[in-house]
Chain A
Amino acid sequence: MHTLSLTELAAGLRARRFSSRELTQHYLARIAAHDGALNSYVTLTAEQALQQADAADARLARGEGGPLTGIPLAQKDIFCTEGVRTACGSKMLDRFVAPYDATIVRKLHAEAGMPMLGKLNMDEFAMGSSNETSYYGPVKNPWDLARVPGGSSGGSVACVAAGLAPVATATDTGGSIRQPAAFTNLTGIKPTYGRVSRYGMIAFASSLDQAGVVARSAEDAALVLQAMSGFDPLDSTSLEQPVEDYRAALNTPLQGLKIGLPREYFGPGMAAGVRAAVEGAIAELKKLGVSVQEVSLPNAPLSVPTYYVVAPAEASSNLARFDGVRYGHRSESAKNLEELYKKSRGEGFGAEVQRRIMIGTYVLSHGYYDAYYLQAQKVRTLITQDFQRAFAEVDLILSPTTTDVAFRFGDKSDDPVAMYLNDIYTIAANLAGIPALSLPCGFSEGLPVGFQLMGSYFSEARLLNVAHQFQQATDFHRARPAGF
């Protein structure tokens, strides 16, 4: 059952070939058998999942429910789940049981009827590109257990790639959906900023954070993104734009589509195996009727430095809420209020979170604000204008998702700047707020390679359409890691 697509699972449920309870039990058994090797789940919610499965079975028996009813899903542990621990990969929230549901949690479980298998491991507060910053230990890549799954949504991709969940939620602030999807042969989409509600999603950098999906195909991703998207009055940055029918758009022919290749993304620094796979994908798209031309995003090389001002600045502000007073970790040894703040935060946050809080505090401090923060926000305008100019010429932009395949544990964990440069191809989309998707296009050294498609605002349907057509013509996304 764990190799079926969401559409096949839905058909099986409706034809009574299996029940949602049986499907959910199948996944719980697979998690028990395999997750010891991967560490993708931090909290299992088996009892709740089975209750939700029974409710889904009852809905289906009445002829009710939608295309996802009865299909289990796992949640990145950044989304608040009422009555279930929500730790965000941090000691700070190790004992935090959320008092309310995130909007997408409500939409996917209560409304769409998907049983929740559990909460997934991630880099602490979503700060990381390897899942090595999690308080709960690193997640392993099912394609090679000595390698990272990518981050911050490492648990999300590992469990879906290994068949320990049919599909999972994820979030992306600088590449945290797309880079791990590329490292594990999955399809991951980060929608337009504001497309999916951020209510109940623990904040890292509020002007960049966006929730999305990791799945085994564009079609699976389309179904779940459909159920997650839409206006939410509880999120002040949620957009009132109507949601397109993503599944209906999947089969639009690609004839006449214009795709741009930004020259800044195809320079040196890309591994030969990645280049070969991405060039193969471009050739395949041409066969489908796509025309390809070079475009320029001249400020794209400034994406990483811009991001490492804006994101830490916002993080230092967002994470000020963790004070040891209202919720979260509280130091036992503080003698006065200032010590309570300092010790609780010193003990509760890991090294990467502390680094980002300090960078953010520094760039916002008196005397440095103009040179760093204001300048970064101006460069962000330039990066966004580059995209607007490019999208006047082409429909979509294509690039590699990462410079290389998944790296080994410890390779970059002592060198923050080397780790940050991992996201060199993905960050610009977050800075501009545009949607972007990563999908598989081959293998190098036996490890998956992904490529990225970026579109203008609200082009999710088009991105999923192109990815789906590519996946109708290729088999890369069907490959599964051995041993799972």
Chain B
Amino acid sequence: MSLSPEQVQQVAHLARLELAPDRVPLYAQQLSNILAMVDQLAGARTEGVAPMAHPLGLTQRLRPDQISESDRRAIYQAHAPAVAEGLYLVPKVIE
């Protein structure tokens, strides 16, 4: 499987990544090489094999449904690029 520069741009859009245009052809070539290496998996015989969910076969541990967190909003929002009155600010969404 190889990726064209247009497909790279589409994947970058899905991942919400802006790529410098001059890097797209190199990315296309590198990602194609990686996918070519990954394509070895197609030859593996996996009929009837269950996909791995956990190396030790464990399931998710549950805890009692009780409040265990304290209010740390102010501490966390101190790291945000822009906040006001406890809200995160972003550029205008609706014109």
Contacts and interface: CB of A to CB of B under 8 A. Distances in A.
Nearest to B83: A326
A443 to B, nearest CB: 31
Nearest to B43: A302
B37 A305 contact: yes
A371 B44 CA distance: 11
Interface residues of A, number: 69
Contacts of B51: 374, 377-378, 380-381
A379 B46 CA distance: 7
Interface stretch (A40-48, A177-185, A358-366): A358-366
B56 A337 contact: no
Contacts of B27: 354-355, 358
Counting contact residues on chain B (CB < 8 A from A), the size range is: 35 or more
A123 to B, nearest CB: 17
Nearest to B45: A382
Given A309-B41, A361-B14, A361-B15, A355 B46 contact: no
A194 B61 CA distance: 12
Residue of A304, A337, A362, A382 ringed by the most chain B CB atoms within 10 A: A362
A48 to B, nearest CB: 19
Contact of B81 (A299, A330, A372): A330
Interface stretch (A50-58, A65-73, A243-251, A338-346): A338-346
A375 interface: yes
A341 B49 CA distance: 39
Contacts of B91: 334-337, 339-340
A316 interface: yes
Nearest to A387: B55
11 contacts: A239-B56, A239-B58, A323-B16, A330-B82, A337-B93, A340-B91, A342-B17, A358-B11, A361-B11, A371-B42, A377-B53
5 nearest CB pairs, A to B: A433-B55, A346-B18, A377-B51, A330-B81, A378-B46
